[in-house]
Structure 1
Amino acid sequence: MIDKLKDVSLKKAGIFAAGVLFGTAGIKILSSSDAKKFYTNCTAAVLRAKDCVMKTTSTIQENTEDILAEAKQINEERKKESEEVADWNEEVSENFSEEMTEE
């Protein structure tokens, strides 16, 4: 029984020691100059990607504003045309009514 407890406690101590060793090695690796270069390059790539996305976004926004302006202009022209047609219909209708009452 005591042997089993010793085995378990030695196993746990070994796992703990391995964790400490791995953590220490990890910190050394992560703080090395090679790792810093890697982080710097990754950050630069992210910044370049951000610039590209921002350019695309502004282009899309400009195109959307142009489309909206053109759509409003088309609707104004159609409104004017429909008002002209309505005025013409009213005029024709009045002329027809006058002709019918004269006969």
Structure 2
Amino acid sequence: MSTQKKTGIFAGGVLFGTAGIKILASDDAKKFYANCTAAVLRAKSCVMKVVTSVQENAEDIYAEAQQINKERAAKTAVVEDEDTEETAETAEDFTEE
């Protein structure tokens, strides 16, 4: 590659870079960035509302599941107590005979 071609490519890159920086720093670009940032913040707010709702529902489901397990354990304990009493009565019957 010739020196002139390399110099031309370098100069083009510098020009493009300088123009790019000016475009990116322009008022229109700043407005665009502000609008994009505002949209992202709105989306974040929406997502956080959904996440909060899901967390609340999960907490409700968890609490209900714990209550169901407590009730089930209580019923199981009552049934086991009845079985134990019946077994004791049956054992007494056999010892009397």
Coarse TM-score class (shorter-chain normalised): over 0.9
Aligned to 1:39: 33
The number of aligned residues is 97
- Identity among equivalent positions (%) equals 62
Aligned to 1:28: 22
Aligned to 1:8: 2
Aligned partner of 2:92 among 91, 94, 98:
98
Letter of the 2:10 counterpart: F
CA distance in 1, matches of 2:92, 2:21: 99
- Give the root-mean-square deviation of aligned CA atoms: 1.2
Q: Give ranges in structure 2 of 5+ residues lacking alignment.
A: none
Aligned to 1:48: 42
Aligned to 2:66: 72
Aligned to 1:87: 81
Aligned to 1:4: none
CA distance in 1, matches of 2:18, 2:95: 106
Structure with higher Rg: it is 1
CA distance in 2, matches of 1:25, 1:101: 105
User: 1:98 offset after TM fit, Å?
Assistant: 1.7
User: 1:41 offset after TM fit, Å?
Assistant: 0.7
Q: Give ranges in structure 1 of 5+ residues lacking alignment.
A: 1-6
Letter of the 2:25 counterpart: S
Aligned partner of 1:17 among 8, 11, 35:
11
Q: Which ranges of 4 or more aligned residues in structure 1 deviate by more than 6 Å? A: none
Normalising by the residue count of structure 1, what TM-score does the alignment of the two structures yield?
A: 0.88
CA distance in 2, matches of 1:16, 1:101: 108
